[in-house]
Structure 1
């Protein structure tokens, strides 16, 4: 659910050598390092021909009760759910209960442009509908149970951001509507549909539509790294994301799902082909993962403090899945090492330094709104429970990690922020912008 599509813009470019025997020792070295420096909590799985080659878990599923994560720990997988939802919709199309050209007004005529928006445009994010998770009050509603009627009212209120088919733009709203459409056609809840169409046929023992997190059932809580410790994140009520992000699972189960899907065991050949047609980088519930001459398909996910990444390379019959319930590093960096190991490519393990702790009084001094004559947007700095965030006007906030008492970085964006007196400098690439606190 979080905006992590930027991760998918990175092309995986390595030598094209086929994987021989997987070097599990190298992978263990990576995750030993991650665990030693407490950079991530989560699990990984790699499979080939549907058989597990490697699994590993680090950190805790429940920090407060010191419950370690294991191979069967279930994580909220966020937007990876969209591939499940897209698969269900395409199954309905295979059964001639729907078509890609069916328009939204056949189900929800009250939604703006419903007579122009097709099922295909909902699947590949070309509907033009406003992304409801970007609503100003989203964080005030996402922890509470919400009804279908309330969600439809929110969709109607938010309206459109462009005309259908004009361009592609990621919107969770599309997959709420697809959830409702599947439920209307099947006359069943989304839970029951996923169970019937995907979970039971594939015998996924640790996959289900999530409810309130229960650590006694080996379900992970999510966390963010603040002041040198893991702080539990607030919990989205699963009535909110629905088929846009409400499934919980394990890396092993997700790998089984993508293997079965992309090997043609869940859809007709025609629907699977349609799923892999990309327009403005969006397929039907899939993203591309290029890897030299090899082509992979998958999705990423993020909800609360959870983040996840899954991919499958049909020519190699290889799936890899990463799930995390807390991370202070870029999950994509871990994925790159995993793939490099599989393809026997030379790589260096990441280097981590001892975590810098900045006391709360110092962080409070940095809070405020900063303006610049050379930069068009203001930057708002907040201290959120012992961790700084930065937010440019009209943009999503991003975390700042300290490298010293007054220097902070946002590694995924290549941003360095330096505080001095009542000023900050923001460096990105070769550009440096100077800001003054209002």
Structure 2
């Protein structure tokens, strides 16, 4: 073994240095070929799915050990102005918002202001079956509460400014779908209630709480509670696709999805979010782990959802995943703890879901790291 190789090997395996996907390729004596292979393969995946460069598109990012190793923007941020998307564009996150809501609840638990075992009735005394539904049930989508997005009357409030209490009152008297803890059934209503509880317990609005305890602490300077009225620098505009072509997204009041789907961010800020979780900047390790644990139904059956994340696998390796969908936007993020790999895709047309491609990119990153 020559001296140069010894020095390089020593550098690579020192834990203080971030080791990207490409370091692995160097060890395989094919750094150029391997780097090109990864980038080219990811490019091919993205450009095949988002082939219309004159339409709305998406931004993708791959990070390892907290550092960006790949990013790509394709398509337009604004069709009317013919502005290209970049990695700095701000997208609506849709249900990826639930991650922030869940962590906000755990922050309040760490502060000693609530417990996930608390009953809903402790905070909303008149909530039907509130003496049987816990905060844990809301976090894990096991409450049995009717999902307001499935209610036919939703159109009647979609463009109204609603307070959190008004939103809870909108669906609280709907019949339950099942007893609490009996099954997992993805539910937006539960996360609206969680946002309301955050406000009741903290004395701050949900928007203020997330900004103060998450965005600012994590350094997420380009993340917001969504608004169609505020001027948001580098906003990506959302679109639908019709037979006649693309149209601007349907306007809704973001007070309706509220804490279940009303945040905005960039791929760079979402990496800061992931890093803040890993580094226990927002919560201690024990409390944070509650978000990524698997839980059981009343019958003892385990299901694959923690608090705000699906807990799944890619090729037998554990992942933490969540996507989002809101008028004009679709999003997906996958984190692989064992390899500290984070992959995220944000699209500004609800006609183009990044879910499958994000998963394929994550699998490809794992393949590149198989000899690590």
Aligned equivalent of 2:272? 256
1:119 to 113, 135, 157: 135
Which string of whole-angstrom CA distances, capped at 9 and with x for unpartnered residues, describes residues 376-407 of structure 1?
A: xxxxxxxxxxxxxxxxxxxxxxxxxxxxxxxx
2:45 to 30, 38, 53: 30
Moved more, 280-289 or 240-249: 280-289
| Structure-2 change in CA distance of 1:109 and 1:251 (3 Å) | same
Give the Cα–Cα distance (whole angstroms) in 2 for the partners of residues 274 and 183 of structure 1. Answer: 21
Which string of whole-angstrom CA distances, capped at 9 and with x for unpartnered residues, describes residues 327-381 of structure 1?
A: 5455233123312432346xxxxxxxxxxxxxxxxxxxxxxxxxxxxxxxxxxxx
Aligned equivalent of 1:219? 235
Aligned equivalent of 1:73? 89
Give the Cα–Cα distance (whole angstroms) in 2 for the partners of residues 33 and 168 of structure 1. Answer: 35
TM-score (structure 2 length as normaliser): 0.82
Give the Cα–Cα distance (whole angstroms) in 1 for the partners of residues 24 and 319 of structure 2. Answer: 15
Aligned equivalent of 2:220? 204
Give the Cα–Cα distance (whole angstroms) in 1 for the partners of residues 180 and 356 of structure 2. Answer: 35
Any idea what SS the aligned residue of 1:43 has? Answer: strand
Aligned equivalent of 1:304? 327
Q: CA RMSD in A?
A: 2.3
| Structure-2 change in CA distance of 1:107 and 1:327 (3 Å) | closer
Aligned equivalent of 2:203? 187
Q: Is 2:167 aligned against 1:157? A: no
Give the Cα–Cα distance (whole angstroms) in 2 for the partners of residues 45 and 215 of structure 1. Answer: 25
Give the Cα–Cα distance (whole angstroms) in 2 for the partners of residues 238 and 328 of structure 1. Answer: 20
Aligned equivalent of 1:313? 336
Which string of whole-angstrom CA distances, capped at 9 and with x for unpartnered residues, describes residues 129-156 of structure 1?
A: 1111111021332122122332122122
| Structure-2 change in CA distance of 1:63 and 1:24 (3 Å) | same
Q: Is 2:301 aligned against 1:285? A: no
| Structure-2 change in CA distance of 1:105 and 1:126 (3 Å) | same
Aligned equivalent of 1:322? 345
Aligned equivalent of 2:153? 137
Give the Cα–Cα distance (whole angstroms) in 1 for the partners of residues 172 and 232 of structure 2. Answer: 39
TM-score (structure 1 length as normaliser): 0.70
| Structure-2 change in CA distance of 1:153 and 1:228 (3 Å) | same
Give the Cα–Cα distance (whole angstroms) in 1 for the partners of residues 278 and 337 of structure 2. Answer: 7
Q: For structure 2, list consecutive stretches of 5 or more residues without a partner in the other structure.
A: 1-22, 26-33, 296-302
| Structure-2 change in CA distance of 1:216 and 1:123 (3 Å) | closer
Contact map agreement 1:130 1:158 (CA 8 A) in 2: yes
Aligned equivalent of 1:4? none
Give the Cα–Cα distance (whole angstroms) in 2 for the partners of residues 27 and 40 of structure 1. Answer: 19
2:356 to 333, 350, 370: 333
Contact map agreement 1:312 1:319 (CA 8 A) in 2: yes
Aligned equivalent of 1:91? 107
How far residue 214 of structure 1 moved from its aligned partner, in angstroms, is: 5.7
Aligned equivalent of 1:148? 164
Any idea what SS the aligned residue of 2:68 has? Answer: strand
How far residue 91 of structure 1 moved from its aligned partner, in angstroms, is: 1.1
Any idea what SS the aligned residue of 1:73 has? Answer: coil
Which string of whole-angstrom CA distances, capped at 9 and with x for unpartnered residues, describes residues 199-255 of structure 1?
A: 111101211111116676221221122226222120221111111111000122112
Q: Equivalent residues in 2 for 1:29-48 (5 A)?
A: 29-37=44-52, 41-48=57-64
Give the Cα–Cα distance (whole angstroms) in 2 for the partners of residues 291 and 119 of structure 1. Answer: 29
| Structure-2 change in CA distance of 1:213 and 1:221 (3 Å) | farther
Q: For structure 1, list consecutive stretches of 5 or more residues without a partner in the other structure.
A: 1-17, 346-438
Aligned equivalent of 2:13? none
Contact map agreement 1:76 1:303 (CA 8 A) in 2: yes
Q: Is the strand fraction higher in 1 or 2?
A: 1
Alignment length (residue pairs):
329
Give the Cα–Cα distance (whole angstroms) in 2 for the partners of residues 90 and 335 of structure 1. Answer: 28
| Structure-2 change in CA distance of 1:56 and 1:228 (3 Å) | farther
